[in-house]
Amino acid sequence: MTQINSVLGPISPDDLGFTLMHEHVMVSASGLYDSYPDLIGPDRETKAIACLKAAKAAGIDTMVDATTFDLGRNPELLRTVSEASGVNIINVTGWWLDVPRFIRGVSVNQMKREFIRDIEEGFRGTGIKAGILKCAADFEGVTEPLETMARAAARAQVETGLPMMVHSYPTGQVARRQIEIFKEEGVDLTRVKIDHSNDTTDIEYLEWILDQGCYLGLDRYPGRLVSPHMRTVTLKTLIDRGHADRLCPSHDCLCLSVMKENPDGTMPKDHESGLRNPDKYLYMHKHVIPELEKMGVSQDTIEMLFVDNPRRFFGGS
């Protein structure tokens, strides 16, 4: 049976339960949590644990933490938070958008080997193994450094069989190029999830992605480029068009990040993520699921979105 690497060790896809497929406990920069912890604010672990305990109490069993090395990945923090909250956390290997000058020019296979070590041996010195791969491109498209990372993640996917989540930019239909690269590398597209897909209401483009075999990560709530209501309308439209079995709603939310002073030197009263979500991981339960129910979406379909689809995505079935 397929086993998934969580930050506490291997779990079965059947143990995932209600799953949010794209979240973050913390986003910062590589090493910042250890080198400049005061920028993250006081009581960091306590805040993160409280945030995930609230999620667990609401019925959230598992979260995929999409924080790569360049986003400040801290697997030991995730292990602590998972143990204390009871929420399964699956962490990624791969790369986001920040490819610093000193690493540019490394080969695709060099990075592939590093990603595979994260999966098979664990993040260095921790024993915590990655459970999913990630690559990214945004409004600039698939630049040369990001293509290196995308091909490295793709080759790691082919060798390990792990699924892959993909930060994309739907306004520019960037997934067309990303999927072209995955095809060239021999990736099984049924193990790929194209994320941030609800930053557009372009159903034709989203159905093209689905036609390639991919899952859609409708994982920005409440978001900024499209209203929360229209995000849910897009989700409902895709359900009505027969795609419910490959849709993964989530928030792209976080508990911890750099706390930025107000101009007068005071700290904000409520530190929120860049996506301005005061409900954090509970937004789905408080707003999206009730709206879907009002639109006539059945409980069986809601369970498919949050339980069955993550289980099949990770299980490879």
| Annotation: binding site for Zn(2+) | 22, 24, 134, 167, 196, 252
Q: How many CB atoms lie within 10 A of CB 242?
A: 10
Q: Are 64 and 90 in contact (CB under 8 A)?
A: yes
Burial of 176: CB neighbours in 10 Å, binned 0-12, 13-18, 19+: middle
Q: Which two tokens stand for residue 243?
A: 């795609």
Q: List Cβ neighbours of 302 (8 Å cut-off, separation of 6 or more).
A: 289, 292, 293
Q: Which amino acid, residue 102? A: F
Rg (CA), the chain: 18
Question: How many Cβ atoms sit within 10 Å of the Cβ of residue 43?
Answer: 10
Name the burial class of residue 220, with classes exposed (0-12), middle (13-18) and buried (19+) by CB atoms within 10 angstroms of its CB.
buried
The Cα–Cα gap between 229 and 202 comes to 15
How far, in Å, CA of 111 to CA of 260, rounded?
Answer: 33
User: Collapsing DSSP states into helix, strand and coil, what is residue 72?
Assistant: coil
Rounded to whole angstroms, how far apart are CA atoms 260 and 198?
A: 28
| Cα 27 to Cα 49: distance, rounded to the nearest angstrom | 15
User: Which of 72, 65, 4 has the alpha carbon at shortest distance from 34?
Assistant: 72
Binding residues: 22, 24, 134, 167, 196, 252
217: tokens are 């990560």
The one-character DSSP state at 55 is H
